[in-house]
Structure 1
């Protein structure tokens, strides 16, 4: 008779055709709960988690995030809207937060929001972050109402009950908004790892030779348990391990002990690992796991340790089933929470396994969005750098383009050393910036490159011949080369020769257009010039102020264009089936065939370069910086949506646009925000009507938010009194020199000649020089001067 234990063992070895092993069972169907993050059993789940590796289930950190257009600029949290306009500016001092504890289990962000709304406190669901606590829930709630924490604590006092639970509110430091991290080093993420539960296994063999052979196969990794390599000890001779067997049938006994065996492994899994029948053991004894918490429970405990430090944006466990440690990634909302988590939790004993330690490491990363053509060109320079980064444990990833035309690639560098990541970021930025084409230290440029003429077409041909990318920057009047070092050197020599030859035969001249001539140009005039001279010699610049027609060619072509504009030369009306800017591939800015065409949501086509330039320049005729469409002869003026900005601009250009918009907003609103007076500090502070001394969080300089002076320990009046003598002398000197301060931003101005209408070069407000009254437009200034001051000029300056 075979014992019950032996019977169970036999069924696991001889019944393989009838009973699926644990490994076979896992390979049947993926667990849908695991895919959604709601499975609590982890790898102990009887469905296939091992099938869901990182190549199948996208990691949250690797998925390109939609830009929320929030930036941290000059110490402020800035929210942008359509047209890259500033919609909201918040400072760290504007926020307050509370932590709510004792909430009922399964409380959601929405129910917490509703609880606050019922009591007259309004918060967004996005500002509620749930915390996992033992036997209950908690929440971190943030608001940009600076009195929010005081109001909350006044309502939720000790003994306050909600949904049958007694809850408590505690003021905490407000976690800052999680802005986009393009071109900046982000350090809100941490890597976490801990030992998986393992167990020891003893295998009994009748032959020492077989036992040693099996030990060697496990040690080499030829035999794996649940696809994981384990540690095998040497075969040792031992007394029979299983007393239920007759000693006469077990005259010789050899044992091999396996360690680091996954805790989820069963006897059948060990048998499945030994693929050859002749190597199978007679008996298997499975030890207890190192800890009893299953994978799901352990993950929940680790996550709760992190959320007790601060709210998380996400928490993700890596699906590496053959590793000996569980690896996870978490991203905090606040950088300080990430640092605190490393300080408090790294090397901490695991709650479910006191003999093991938790590892928590800070992760530093930077992302870039660059043109696909540029990335392909500079790959030869990135590859050797990538080897250096790998030796420094810095990872580099280039994600596939997500836009249909595959114009851009998202790049990311990441590592656990802040200094190494900063250096790697600078190296990658330098590569992606390309090199400015020069000859003998002088930048190579020709004025004809302002248009898409013969020289520009020759350069595009040169690109293909030299296997480089050449970008034209009209704003800076320079050419940038991207490619392998030797290819760029050859291209630079040939560029110099092309420009040298071109400069001898042609030049570019701009014809500025007043409103009347601009109207004429939009309604057929420019077409007449392009038809007469050739489309490669004439281009339309409707971004600049004033508008221009650019002529690339000899002086004779310029004279012909002037004659047509002034009516001295008649040209037949061109045949035009489509309106300018409406042709399928005609740029709305330069009115020539679009080079690398893109189309905006309002349906107008641009050269990619013209679109970038129009975004950077923005619209200066409105009260605030805005990116508007120039289609339909400049009459479209639709606000360019954030989707178009995100889709068509590289990260470098997009950040420039947003920073220009922010800078313009601060200059135009000096009564709301000012820059710190410390040179090169750059941080801003909020202007107040009452005197408040505040220390700059960057340079710590004290400044009064009302009068903008550092008068610590005294009122504004006292400070002005002490400064009055010197101030009066300085004011008298400015009066003698005819210098006045802008009423809005206090910038000194001097009037040399002309009428009494002044425009501040800093904040762009319109000023009457006589009485210093300000107006939103120039027309109102002229009406004011004519009505109150009798004209536009001083009496002594009236032109004869």
Structure 2
């Protein structure tokens, strides 16, 4: 190994005052944009700081500096491609700071790399598609269904014997020459196993495409110069996104970085021994990475400390930077790197190999972390990550003869939960974290964005079963504890409104540090917090429910009364009854709900009937909840400027899900239900828990299917849930494999529609009862009905001619066989006649 000897120069310390640079911007993927609290200026510096808290890897600061200041991050260095080395005017850290909560462990191959991002939005992009009923459903604003795509809507072909240099663009041009206009994103190249040819799969949302395309190719054989081969294949469904499901889209790729050896020459053997100890203990590091220090060796001129596994990009100043000036070596020698490395080329090669497996949603260039370069990628389609790991793990690296690529598929599941619920269940989650991490499953809880009431939780791990099990446990925790008293759910009509009883519930929350959720739809109370605190709160809630003697009374409003209530009539009622009265403008018809005594109900009824105009018009500027018309609890403000209680907003969405309306759409009920602006999906996702959001989309989908009986139907098999398009012929369910008649929408293999209708209506049961009463039996071979009026038990079918025993209906080829059977099995032929008489 070549050794280069360099005398260390001394440089003055650098101090520049500016905003701290954004590491994610330097890496090219800061998602906070102009709202980022860090600097996006490539020339900006950072305020002077204490050396112990600043970037210890900046190459422009020497070991004798008494104070240092971190500089803007070098974008090229993060990719391993900075050519300026120590002369670079930007900072050279080993990797960017990660504001993600610590979730990794030393046992994890990638440690904290499993979960990253500063707000859980690394894979936040949502195309608003979901896999429901065996199809891919596209949603739009208001949670309406825009499109339902089923597997029967697609067809696909596999094209082989393509030129080795084929790309999706050239294949698209080839298809265009054959009369088919196919977008590039519909073409996927298979992994290149044959260096002389390429294989591509083409999937199109057209059930006739495969048949038509194969026909065109077959017709041109021998005429065209194209020697491609085409076969039909099963059309894979496009993936749907969403939370509360385990998906496999992300991969982590790594490879060893190049290293070199360095020799530190000292004149004092004692000093060399001390420096050796400090490198060995990890007190001294090179570019924030621990290196291997070998025991000092004496020569005539020097005592030398040899360091191995030194990052190849490290300079002499990087190596000696942690050593105080009065202990610095006389000189430093460095060897040649273990291999020549171009990070830009390496990243491009690995990325291209991943893209052969499937299209990528994003790619993050490798940065150095420890002894390996680490890159991340996320595929567009679920399952491609597992395929990439299977095909590319241990792939021989072209830029390192002895190097192998490591590819790990990461399974993940995301949740969104109210921040107050998360804080209440956090101790329970922490109890399970040790078990999850032992199985290399890591949970990250990201800080809610500004003005958001929801927190994103995300599991990630290498084992899909372990991730699925952790997901199941977390779902149980998020379901909460059902409040019961003597085995019965605790509930009171007063729990439905934000009245006096609700204030007592809030006091219980504060007293025990738990969260109480009232599910008005189910008439249930759910508690979130530690088990002992929830049990204590249960006792208090049971007492409140027992003591409260109020009843829930509904005053339905006609259009005139509703208009009066909106003009200030309801305000007049609440001035007297307070929170005992609530305004429900979602129900049809609209109504005022009074939870109180009979006198309270009579007073509200009288005021509604009298419709006396209020002395003062209601304050239009007051931001009351658009549903209950009370001061909002945990207020949510819509894009159209209206305010809701968080509970009322969830009730609005849940009510729409169960309304059964043909035109399902979540709309704003502000301005006395006059607004009607559809809530955009981003707003719904940001302000609903992930479970309620997904339930709302599913309810919209169910409404969409149920109101289109002429085109969509569910598979009749119980608990199947697969949908199919109404057509002629027979549909075989891809989920349960049951054959379904698309004429009568029932499964009746081997029967006509009329026979199935007769059987399903109960007609066959009645017929069986009549046959049993009259003594009529069916031939077991041809089902011809027969009646025995006299004679022995030997019968001959008039339909198929079979000989059969009337007693047990066994069939025989001859009468003698039948008689022998009757004597042997039944002790006679059916009446008291000597056996010889029958002959």
Cα distance between partner residues in 2 of 1:123 and 1:43: 43
Q: Could you say if the C-alpha distance between residues 115 and 453 of structure 1 is closer, same or farther in structure 2, counting changes exceeding 3 Å?
A: farther
Query: Which residue, 445, 450, 456 being the options, matches 1:398?
Result: 445
| Deviation of 1:428 (Å) | 1.9
Q: Equivalent of 1:68, from 115, 121, 127?
A: 127
Partners in 1 of 2:319 and 2:523 — Cα distance?
A: 71
Change (3 A) 1:130 1:376: farther
CA deviation after TM superposition for structure 1 residue 627, in Å: 1.4
Instruction: Find the partner of 1:311 among 328, 340, 359.
Output: 359
Which residue number in structure 2 is paired with residue 783 of structure 1? none
Q: Deviations over 1:102-125 (max 9, x none)?
A: 7999x999x999998999766678
Aligned to 2:587: 544
Report the counterpart of residue 294 of structure 2 in structure 1.
233
Cα pair 1:42 1:49 within 8 Å, conserved = no
Instruction: Indicate how the Cα distance of structure 1 residues 600 and 56 shifts in structure 2: closer, same or farther if over 3 A, else same.
Output: closer
For 1:336, the equivalent position in structure 2 comes to: 383
Matched, 1:13 2:59: no
1:637 aligns to 2:670 (yes or no): no
User: CA 1:139–1:438 in structure 2 vs 1: closer, same or farther (change >3 Å)?
Assistant: same
Residue of structure 1 in register with 2:601 after alignment: 558
- Kindly indicate whether the alpha-carbon contact (under 8 Å) linking 1:345 and 1:360 is maintained by their aligned counterparts in 2: yes
Residue number in structure 2 paired with 1:351: 398
The verdict on how the C-alpha distance between 1:125 and 1:448 changes in structure 2, with shifts beyond 3 A counting, is: farther
CA distance in 1, matches of 2:250, 2:678: 35
Displacement after TM superposition at 1:540 (Å): 1.9
Task: Report the RMSD for the aligned CA atoms in angstroms.
Answer: 4.4
Q: Could you tell me which residue of structure 1 aligns to residue 804 of structure 2?
A: none
Question: Is structure 2 residue 123 aligned with structure 1 residue 88?
Answer: no
Does 1:41 pair with 2:81? yes
Q: 1: CA distance between counterparts of 2:129 and 2:252?
A: 25
- Is the counterpart of residue 651 in structure 1 residue 695 in structure 2? no
Separation of aligned partners in 2, 1:158 and 1:278: 80
Q: Taking structure 1 as reference, are residues 115 and 52 closer, same or farther at Cα in structure 2, changes over 3 Å only? A: farther
Q: Distance in 2 between matches of 1:226 and 1:724?
A: 78
Q: How has the CA–CA distance of structure 1 residues 631 and 15 changed in structure 2, closer, same or farther, with 3 Å as cutoff?
A: closer
How far the C-alpha of 1:452 sits from its partner, in A, is: 2.2
SS at 2:428 equivalent: helix
Tell me what 1:497 maps to. 543
Match of 1:574 in 2: 614
The structure-2 alpha-carbon separation of the partners of 1:132 and 1:198, relative to structure 1 and needing over 3 Å to count, comes to farther
Are the aligned partners of 1:175 and 1:334 in contact in 2 as well (CA < 8 Å)?
no
Partners of 1:139 and 1:119 lie apart in 2 by: 16
Aligned residues: 690
Match of 2:311 in 1: 262
The offset of 1:309, in angstroms, is: 1.9
Question: 1:789 — aligned with what?
Answer: none
Out of 180, 200, 206, the residue aligned to residue 145 of structure 1 is: 206
Contact 1:347 1:360 in 2 (8 A): yes
Q: TM-score, normalised by structure 1?
A: 0.74
Compute the displacement of 1:87 (Å): 0.7
Compared with structure 1, are the counterparts of its residues 633 and 120 closer, same or farther at alpha carbon in structure 2 (3 Å cutoff)?
farther
Partner of 2:59: 24
Alpha-carbon shift at residue 591 of structure 1 (Å): 2.6
Q: Secondary structure at 1:24's aligned position in 2?
A: coil
Counterpart-to-counterpart distance in 2, 1:189 and 1:589: 42
| 1:595 corresponds to 2:628 | no
Secondary structure of 1:535 counterpart:
helix
Q: Could you say if the C-alpha distance between residues 94 and 336 of structure 1 is closer, same or farther in structure 2, counting changes exceeding 3 Å?
A: farther
The equivalent position to 2:531 in structure 1, one of 481, 485, 492, is: 485
Instruction: Give distance in 1, aligned partners of 2:248 and 2:538.
Output: 39
Distance 2:335 2:601 in 1: 93
Partner SS for 2:310: strand
1:387 & 1:222 partners in 2: Cα distance? 29
- Name the counterpart of 1:297: 345
Task: Give the CA deviation at 1:81.
Answer: 0.8
Question: Post-superposition shift, 1:324?
Answer: 0.5
- Give the conservation status (yes or no) of the 8 Å contact 1:176–1:334: no
Q: Which stretch shifts more, 703-712 or 607-616?
A: 703-712
Task: Label 1:178 to 1:729 Cα distance change in 2 as closer, same or farther (>3 A).
Answer: closer
Q: What does residue 763 of structure 2 align with?
A: 730
- Tell me the distance in 2 between the aligned counterparts of 1:316 and 1:54: 15
Using the TM superposition, give the Cα deviation of residue 661 of structure 1 relative to its aligned residue in structure 2, in angstroms.
Answer: 0.8
TM-score under structure 2 normalisation? 0.71
Partners of 2:587 and 2:552 lie apart in 1 by 16
Distance 1:102 1:32, change over 3 A: farther
Larger-gyration structure (1/2) = 2
| Counterpart selection for 2:410 from 363, 366, 371 | 363
1:86 counterpart SS class: strand
Deviates more, 1:67-76 or 1:81-90: 67-76
User: Is the Cα–Cα contact under 8 Å of residues 76 and 82 in structure 2 kept in the other structure?
Assistant: no
Q: 1:723, CA displacement in angstroms?
A: 4.8
- SS in structure 2 opposite 1:260? strand
Q: Residue 507 of structure 1 aligns with which residue? A: 551
Distance 2:674 2:508 in 1: 37
Going from structure 1 to structure 2, the CA distance change for 1:236 and 1:137 (only over 3 Å counts) comes to farther
CA 48–554 in structure 1, closer or farther in 2 if over 3 Å, else same:
same
Structure 1: gaps (5+ residues): 238-249, 735-800
Kindly report which structure 2 residues correspond to 1:384-395, keeping only aligned pairs within 5 A, or say none: 384-395=431-442
Q: Which residue of 1 aligns with 2:498?
A: 452
Distance in 2, matches of 1:226 and 1:275, equals 16
Q: Give distance in 1, aligned partners of 2:178 and 2:618.
A: 60
1:445, distance to aligned residue in structure 2 (A):
1.3
Aligned to 1:682: 721
What secondary structure sits across from 1:360 in the alignment?
A: strand
Question: Which deviates more from structure 2 when the two are superposed, residues 88-97 or residues 339-348?
Answer: 88-97
Once the two structures are TM-superposed, the CA of residue 725 in structure 1 deviates from its matched residue by 6.3
Q: 1:285 to 1:68 in 2, by over 3 A?
A: closer
Helix, strand or coil: the match of 1:234? coil
Counterpart of 1:702?
739
Asked if the contact 2:496–2:520 (Cα under 8 Å) also holds between the matched residues in 1, the reply is: yes
**In the superposition, relative to structure 1, how do residues 92 and 214 fare at CA in structure 2: closer, same or farther (>3 Å)?**
farther
Segment drifting more, 372-381 vs 660-669: 372-381
Of 229, 242, 250, which residue of structure 2 is paired with 1:181? 242
For residues 509 and 711 of structure 1, what CA distance do their matches in structure 2 show? 50
CA distance in 2, matches of 1:143, 1:682: 25
Quick check: 674-683 or 635-644, which moved more? 635-644
* Structure 1 match to 2:53: none
Deviation at 1:375, TM superposition (A): 1.5
